[in-house]
Structure 1
Amino acid sequence: MDVTDIITGTVDDEDKQHFIPFQPVAGENDFLQTVINKVIAAKEVNHKGQGLWVTMKLLLGDVHQIRKDFPHLVDRTTAVARKMGFPEIIMPGDVRNDIYVTLMLGEFDKGNKTTSKNVEVTMMVYDEEGKRLENVIFPGAGDDGISEYKSVIYYQVKQPRWFETVKVAIPIEDVNRSHLRFTFRHRSSQDSKDKSEKVFAMAFVKLMRYDGTTLRDGEHDLIVYKWDAKKLEDASIYLNLPATKPMLEEKGYTMTGKNMHSLGNFAISKDSFQISTLVCSTKLTQNVDLLGLLKWRSNTNLLQQNLRQLMKVDGEEVVKFLQDTLDALFNIMMENSDSDTFDTLVFDSLVFIIGLIADRKFQHFNPVLETYIRKHFSATLAYTKLTTVLKNYVDNSEKPNVTDQLFKAMKSLEYVFKFIVRSRILFNQLYEDKGESDFMDSLRQLFRSINDMMSSTSDQTVIVKGAALKYLPTIVNDVKLVFDPKELSKLFTDFIHNVPPGRLVRQKLYCLIEIVHSDLFTQHDCRDILLPMMTEQLKHHLENREELEACCHLLSNILEVLYRKDGVGLTQRHVQIIMEKLLRTVNRTVISMGRDSEIIIAEYQHSYNFPQSACVSWCFQHWPM
């Protein structure tokens, strides 16, 4: 039954009954995949009235919320099937370690029998010492764990196709010592004969690769070994054998000819067997470069290399392990607090991760990063190192090998400062404002360095200065939590004044718009500092007919704040400043633009959404037509 409309919310009639027809199966040896393909291909199903009538209701929210909102529908006994794969968002603290194993297909020689075998596959999980792990296999959601899984048996089929999937859930600390073992047995339809049938072959695969990463997702052609109870019961012996055909070929053997039939004292069967695996783990990675960082303490000599390699890891793998990756970066920083050896590489890695999440593909991980900073981040000394590295980049902005990385850092400025501010707050909670003056001074020095960079007329740093104008306002609401808002307003005023005349005018005006949108501009005493600078900038650019549309947007945004009735303090004096400084200039600008100006027409149309573009609209309405 197609449930697309129900899942998307197109159909939400919970009382509507849906008919699910029973699908006829021609024979008991029909493979499930074959049956499904036939059903999909068929236009109509000849169900002869046989089927189930069901009603369906889509419940929105996570499991905990749904149990709370719909206790009559979902309780503790309701089976919850997790996605085979990862959801769009993996929140910090959502620990998962599921390995899905699918018995795909096989081909089995009939041997000395006159007909094909009735093959049953038994899957178990063992450790490296040959001890079976109990109750770690789950046939379905809500099922209790079992210790061995037995496949469906197809009667006299040479090439059975099972496509049976089970979940293997092993404690994370045991995965590196565990392997899957498959045994094959012919089953007889006669009880007397069936009891005498023994295992005729086995296959295995380790869950952890030689490099410490987990088994790759996808299909695996396993080598089928002829059963020898004396040799193959001992895990320490067979675990040294190649488990898959590619591993066999790596050892110099081929799958054809004489070499195929023996490997030392072990006989390789002509039979074939294929499985597929899918690892859904927030702790075990399949990427060796990411693993190197997560396990950085095991070999600190490779730490610099591991940090560089992290920035080459595929984004999908990084966001899956976002919390562990960030924890590793800040642990490196904290455990090397007396040294700056790794500070720049850790900073670059952090910028890389923030840049990933800023990408449209991963932007839904923004709440995850916010939650991490708010609830899980704990590096109390990170603020000093992050501030120092950023200042060093700014001070050397004109060096060719620095410009690109500084540009990336500027784009990540909002979250870099969220980490800085949160780190400082955590430090204050522990040490009661210790080092307050040093922290304040470090921020002042950082702003001075940025202001010096902005005053440069070098073309090499234009892109960085443009990024600074765009992204620096994003730090305001966080920085004002740990820094005096009035002084911050003065620093931003200096920042704008340091932009060279005639350069980056549009970017500067839109930077001012973002400052108007920030919490600083809603504070009366901060507005006392910022507004004169803004009116000065507007007057200059209006008189020079520069970026009139951006000027208009800035002025209208300022007036919108001043016309607000709450949360902005007294505004009368600030409105008076605008009227005294700008009204004459605005009047002259509007008159000089002419009635047919696109800006005039657009702003006049928008004036009905008062106070949008209030000042320009007021002037236009009082201009003789």
Structure 2
Amino acid sequence: NVIFPGAGDEGITEYKSVIYYQVKQPRWFETIKVAIPIEDVNRSHLRFTFKHRSSQDYKDRSEKIFALSFVKLMRYDGTTLRDGEHDLIVYKAEVKKLEDSSLYLSLPATKLELEEKGHFPTGKSSQNLGNCTISKDSFQIATLVCSTKLTQNVDLLGLLKWRSNTSLLQQNLRQLMKVDGGEVVKFLQDTLDALFNIMMENSDSDTFDTLVFDALVFIIGLIADRKFQHFNPVLETYIRKHFSATLAYTKLTKVLKNYVDHAEKLTDQLLKAMKALEYIFKFIVRSRVLFNQLYENKGESDFMESVRNLFTSFSIMMNSDAESTSMVKGAALKYVPTIVNDVKLVFDPKELSKLFSEFILKVPPGRLVKQKLYCMIDIVHSDLFTQHDCREILLPLMTDQLKLHLEQHEELEACCQLLSNILEVLYRSDVGPSQWHIQIIMEKLLRTVNRTVISLGRDSPLI
């Protein structure tokens, strides 16, 4: 009882359609749902039988099946039946032969399969194959498979079942990044499990680390796409509840640092990684938290050092004069603030504030001014700026930067927004003592702000 003619109907074993009198080429246009348990799909097939109808009841009851079409739900390569139209072969044979599935399941089901096996139309009205005769007629169906466990893509299947053929693992990881996004997000949890299992089960080797990292960046990039944004909560839930790779943080940090260190050569890869930086660090932080729970803060100093080294690499990259890295630098200023709230869970917030300050100070004078100011705006909106000790480090940096750019009349709108956001945070009652910080702003910026306002003129939209 797996056939459902419509919503709310009871499941049935056989669906009977209709035929109209003297219609030689019938078109049914009927949609039915077939719900098969996953464990039965591999040995299941859809079977379509044909019989004549008579206008006389006693003759109609005696009519037997004269032809059959069928299609298997699983292909030879382990993937499911492709979505879309299928041109099925119509087989004719004795009733007993048509009832016995063992006599026809070895035969090709579609015209395409027939040609793939080297059988081509002869032009005759019928053609013998095995125990059956191929009719000149054909039968068309259209299918749509709905499953989060069975895939239609052989490359994705190769990755999901990577243990069965590890020699193809590198190829499968590369091919994953060519798979249709819709198919990948349907199998999001299984795909992520496979990637991190590959990483964990090869913990003593870095052979697959870069490919796994690139695949992870590809998946995060997919979910950032507007088309798949509704899968964002699925990714968040996976990280929070299902992710369990305790050693992933070391490998992910290492690959990311390598990309940053070689920014001039690996610009494209690094740019993609920057766009995925928020979720890469969610995985890194969650991995480190799980490791801490399991091993009671073992390797704490090594982890801290790896984060310091990564920020140092970011700062060196920002200080570079290479024109080829300008887009990557802009991306770094945009996406580095997105990691702050997660990193502070496993890293000293004060030291993180110092690392961020060094990162900003390494931006070359006169370059990426707007991006730098918006980067600081994002930090003001982060949890870091609400902590008094962190503000002690960040506020002098921000006031110095504001003074510099206001005096040079650079990106005044962004300067106004940064100053406004700082004051809004300091006005809040849940951010600790703020009187001294307001005094710093008054001493450093009041005169500069007044001069800037005077120079703008009354009709400026910034006043």
TM range (shorter): over 0.9
Greater relative contact order: 1 or 2 (C-alpha under 8 angstroms, separation 6 or more)?
1
Residue among 603, 610, 624 paired with 2:462: 603
Residue 123 of structure 1 corresponds to none
Aligned pair 1:219/2:82, yes or no? no
Provide the C-alpha distance between the structure 1 equivalents of 2:414 and 2:138, rounded to a whole number of angstroms.
Answer: 70
- Structure 2: how far apart are the matches of 1:230 and 1:593? 94
Aligned to 1:623: none
Question: Within the alignment, does 1:152 sit opposite 2:18 as a pair?
Answer: yes
TM-score, reference length from structure 1: 0.71
Once residues 61 and 402 of structure 2 are traced to their aligned partners in structure 1, the CA distance between those partners, rounded to angstroms, is 94
Name the SS for the 1:481 alignment partner. Answer: coil
Give the Cα–Cα distance (whole angstroms) in 1 for the partners of residues 60 and 408 of structure 2.
97
Q: 1:391 aligns with which of 233, 257, 269?
A: 257
Shift in Å at residue 233 of structure 1? 4.0
Give the Å deviation of 1:562: 1.2
Per-residue CA distance 1:549-592 (angstroms, 9 max, x = gap): 2212111111111122x221111000000111111222222223
Preserved CA contact (<8 Å) 1:245 1:255 = no
Q: TM-score, normalising length from structure 2?
A: 0.95
Letter in 2 for 1:433: N
Partner deviation per Cα, 1:99-136 (whole Å, 9 max, x = no partner): xxxxxxxxxxxxxxxxxxxxxxxxxxxxxxxxxxxx22
Matched, 1:467 2:331: yes
Asked if 1:325 corresponds to 2:191, the answer is: yes
Structure 1 residue 338 corresponds to structure 2 residue 165: no
The residue number in structure 1 matching 2:76 is 210
Residues 144-182 of structure 1: CA deviation (Å, up to 9, x unaligned): 332222223434543333222222122223222221112
Change (3 A) 1:244 1:460: same
1:550 aligns with 2:414: yes
Which of 485, 488, 491 is 2:352 aligned to?
488
Q: 1:581 aligned to 2:447?
A: no
Aligned to 2:457: 594
Matches within 5 A, 1:322-471: 322-399=188-265, 402-471=266-335
Match of 2:403 among 535, 539, 542: 539
* SS across alignment from 1:285: coil
1:345 Cα offset (Å):
0.5
Q: Once the 2 structures are TM-superposed, how far is the Cα of residue 383 of structure 1 from its aligned partner?
A: 1.1
**Which AA in structure 1 matches 2:456?**
M
1:260 shift after superposition: 4.5
Q: Of Structure 1 and Structure 2, which has the larger fraction of its residues in helix?
A: 2
CA-CA distance at 1:191 after TM superposition: 4.3
**Does the 8 A contact of 2:333 with 2:375 survive in 1?**
yes
Give the Cα–Cα distance (whole angstroms) in 1 for the partners of residues 382 and 11 of structure 2: 54
Contact 1:539–1:581 (Cα < 8 Å) also in 2: yes
Q: Which moved more, 1:492-501 or 1:224-233?
A: 224-233
User: Counterpart of 2:462 in 1: which secondary structure?
Assistant: helix
Cα separation, 2, equivalents of 1:157 and 1:594: 83
- Matched residues in 2 for 1:594 and 1:140: separation? 70
Match of 1:237 in 2: 103
User: Once the 2 structures are TM-superposed, how far is the Cα of residue 230 of structure 1 from its aligned partner?
Assistant: 5.2
Alignment of structure 1 residues 138-177 onto 2, 5 Å: 138-177=4-43
Q: Is the 8 A contact 2:406 2:449 kept in 1?
A: yes
Contact 2:47–2:71, Cα closer than 8 Å, also in 1? yes
> Gaps (5+ residues) in structure 2?
none
Matched, 1:570 2:443: no
User: Any idea what the Cα deviations from partners look like across 1:358-411, whole Å, max 9, x if unmatched?
Assistant: 122222322222122122222222111111110111111122xx1110011011
Matched-pair contact (CA < 8 Å) for 2:83–2:143: yes
1:199, 1:227 within 8 Å by CA — same for their partners in 2?
no
Preserved contact between residue 84 and residue 143 of structure 2 (Cα < 8 Å): yes
Q: Report SS of the residue matched to 2:146.
A: strand
Aligned residues: 463
The correspondence of residues 23-34 of structure 1 with structure 2, limited to 5 A, is none
Amino acid at match of 2:399: T
For the residue of structure 1 that corresponds to 2:85, the secondary structure is strand
Separation of aligned partners in 2, 1:482 and 1:339: 26
Q: Deviations over 1:413-469 (max 9, x none)?
A: 011111111111222222222222221121111111111111212212111111100
SS at match of 2:345: coil
SS of 1:267 mapped into structure 2: strand
Q: Is the 8 A contact 1:351 1:412 kept in 2?
A: yes
Query: Residue 86 of structure 1 corresponds to which residue in structure 2?
Result: none
Partner of 1:272, secondary structure, is strand
Give the aligned residue type for 1:416.
I
Cα distance in structure 1, aligned partners of 2:173 and 2:138: 42
Distance 1:286 1:279 in 2: 9
**Hey, what's the Cα distance between the residues in 2 that align with 1:153 and 1:549?**
72
Instruction: Please give the alpha-carbon distance, in whole angstroms, between the structure 2 residues aligned to 1:408 and 1:494.
Output: 24
Amino acid in the other structure paired with 1:567: D
Identity rate of aligned residues, in percent? 83
In 1, the alpha carbon distance for the partners of 2:305 and 2:316 equals: 16
Give the match's secondary structure for 2:109.
coil
Partner residue of 1:289 out of 135, 146, 155: 155
Q: Distance in 1 between matches of 2:240 and 2:55?
A: 63
Residues 253 and 259 in structure 1, CA contact (< 8 A), matched pair in contact too: no
C-alpha deviation, 1:256, in angstroms: 5.1
Q: Distance in 2 between matches of 1:250 and 1:259?
A: 21
Instruction: Find the aligned partners of 1:327 and 1:460 in 2 and give their Cα distance.
Output: 35
Give ranges in structure 1 of 5+ residues lacking alignment: 1-134, 605-625
SS in 2 for 1:216: coil
Give, in whole Å, the separation in 2 of the partners of 1:138 and 1:309: 37
| Matches of 1:387 and 1:186, distance apart in 2 | 69
Matched residues in 2 for 1:305 and 1:468: separation?
30
In 1, Cα distance between the equivalents of 2:133 and 2:338? Answer: 67
Local SS of the residue matching 1:462:
helix
Structure 2 residue matching 1:483: 3-state secondary structure: coil
| Alpha-carbon distance between aligned partners in 2 of 1:264 and 1:199, rounded to the nearest angstrom | 18
Is the CA contact (8 Å cut-off) linking 1:381 and 1:427 kept in structure 2? yes
1:304-331 CA deviation, whole Å, 9 max, x = no partner?
A: 1111111111212222221221121112
Per mean C-alpha deviation after superposition, the further-off stretch among 567-576 and 187-196 is 187-196
Decide which structure has greater strand share. 1
Q: Deviations for 1:200-242, whole angstroms, at most 9, x for unmatched residues?
A: 1111111112222211112222111112345444433322211
Kept after mapping to 1: 8 A contact 2:66/2:95? no
- Work out the CA distance in 2 between the residues paired with 1:235 and 1:268: 16
Q: Which residue of 1 aligns with 2:3?
A: 137
**Residues 254 and 260, structure 1, Cα contact 8 Å, conserved in 2:** no
The answer to whether residue 142 in structure 2 is matched with residue 279 in structure 1 is: no
Q: Does 1:303 align with 2:162?
A: no
Which structure's CA Rg is the greater one? 1
Which residue identity is paired with 1:531? Answer: L
Distance 2:11 2:204 in 1: 49
CA distance in 2, matches of 1:473, 1:426: 23
AA of the residue aligned to 1:214: T
